[in-house]
Amino acid sequence: MGIYIATWNMQGEKGLPVNLDDLLLPTDSEFAQDFYVIGVQEGCPDRKEWETRLQETLGPYYVMLYAASHGVLYLSVFVRRDLIWFCSEVEHATVTTRIISQIKTKGAVGVGFTFFGTSFLFITSHFTSGDSKVYERILDYNKIIEALALPKGLPDTNPYRSTPSDVTTRFDHVFWFGDFNFRLSKNRVEVENIINRIAGKDMGSLLEYDQLSKELKDGSIFKGFQEAPIHFLPTYKFDIGCDIYDTSSKQRTPSYTDRILFRSRQAHDIQVIKYTSCTNIKTSDHRPVVGVFQAKLRPGRDTIPLGAGLFDRSLYLEGIRRRMTRELQRREAMNNQSSSSICTIA
């Protein structure tokens, strides 16, 4: 199956991009995927509007299988409409990593389900910010894997490979994405010099200073996970509406805060097709990051409770209504442009 994942820190902006095609349907995509999973941190105030815009963009052949939130963390799962009958019931859980649990800006939301006979877990999260807060971010990760209570009622497809202290071992395929807030351990001037020197080509000289890459290598975080090679520039922190890194008084160092990682119980069951940033969406100080993957499936089982084709029908109808209205307006505008301006005399 094909899986398209997008993660984006929206910076709480009320104004959504005029067009989400660049986020979900980039022009370099050869074909559409089976699942679209979108994780948002610091989401816009109107979550329903955001989900409606996603449905409008994806069109009538996709339905929203499930959506969950934890404060301003949003996670939406869309599936090809003809595949919904092979999805199990869907479960979700949340974890806050703030000391005060009522403040829901940092933490995680996870969604789990089984498709045919293969179980999936999607997690989006927002870790502690701050250049030097590496240890605190590792604590966030440890709290999430221990406290994210999934699966609840769904059967574990391979209980012999599960551990009670790590939710990511209890699913066949796991995708974890979000604003992990790991920074480049180098000062701003030196990082910008490297960026100018590499001219968007080999990111290795930047990633030498990437905190997450170091912790992954040391085995202190995301145990068993992989990340595709990075061939895009740092996705944080930009001035709004342009491609210039932070010019405020804080002069934050450009960093790879936004990432997508994955793990599978079976080696080589997940293949990376694409891993890049979305440079055309500039309404936030973060650039979205997208990944396209292919995951192997196993046959279905009689013990898995199916979801009976349930999805958010009201959202679907509103999204398609808007899409049709937009298309009609576009055609009318084209007709007006091509119509003759010559008057006739009776």
- Per-residue pLDDT tens digits of the chain, which is 346 residues long: 999 999 999 999 888 998 999 999 998 888 899 999 999 999 999 999 999 999 999 999 999 999 999 999 999 999 999 999 999 999 999 999 987 656 668 999 999 999 999 999 999 999 999 999 999 999 999 999 999 999 999 999 888 889 999 999 999 999 999 999 999 999 999 999 999 998 778 999 999 999 999 999 999 999 999 999 999 999 999 999 999 999 999 999 999 999 999 999 999 999 999 999 999 999 999 999 999 999 999 998 888 899 999 999 999 999 999 999 999 998 988 888 876 555 555 5
pLDDT value at residue 337: 80
Compute the half-sphere exposure of residue 296: CA atoms within 13 Å on the CB side of its CA: 11
What are the beta bridge partners of residue 9? 41
Question: Could you give the CA distance from residue 112 to residue 110 in angstroms, rounded to a whole number?
Answer: 7
pLDDT value at residue 102: 60
Question: Could you give the CA distance from residue 55 to residue 317 in angstroms, rounded to a whole number?
Answer: 9
pLDDT value at residue 344: 53
C-alpha separations of 112 from 164, 222, 292 in Å: 16, 18, 19
Q: Which residue has 């955001």 as its token pair? A: 50
Looking at residue 159, the DSSP 8-state letter turns out to be G
Contact 136, 128 (CB under 8 A): yes
Question: Could you give the CA distance from residue 43 to residue 182 in angstroms, rounded to a whole number?
Answer: 20
Contact 44, 50 (CB under 8 A): yes
Question: Could you give the CA distance from residue 118 to residue 85 in angstroms, rounded to a whole number?
Answer: 14
pLDDT value at residue 336: 86
Question: Could you give the CA distance from residue 37 to residue 59 in angstroms, rounded to a whole number?
Answer: 15
pLDDT value at residue 13: 86
Question: Could you give the CA distance from residue 264 to residue 157 in angstroms, rounded to a whole number?
Answer: 13
Contact 73, 125 (CB under 8 A): yes
Q: Write the DSSP assignment of 95-146 as a string of letters.
A: EE-SSSTT--SSEEEEEEEEETTEEEEEEEEEPPPSTT-HHHHHHHHHHHHH
Q: Which phi and psi (to 5°) does residue 119 adopt?
A: -95, 140
- Residue 221 token pair: 């975080």
Would you give the end-to-end CA distance of the chain in angstroms?
A: 63
pLDDT value at residue 200: 72
Q: Is the dihedral of CA 183, 187, 188, 194 positive or negative?
A: negative
pLDDT value at residue 220: 97
Looking at residue 184, the DSSP 8-state letter turns out to be B
Which pTM was predicted? 0.94
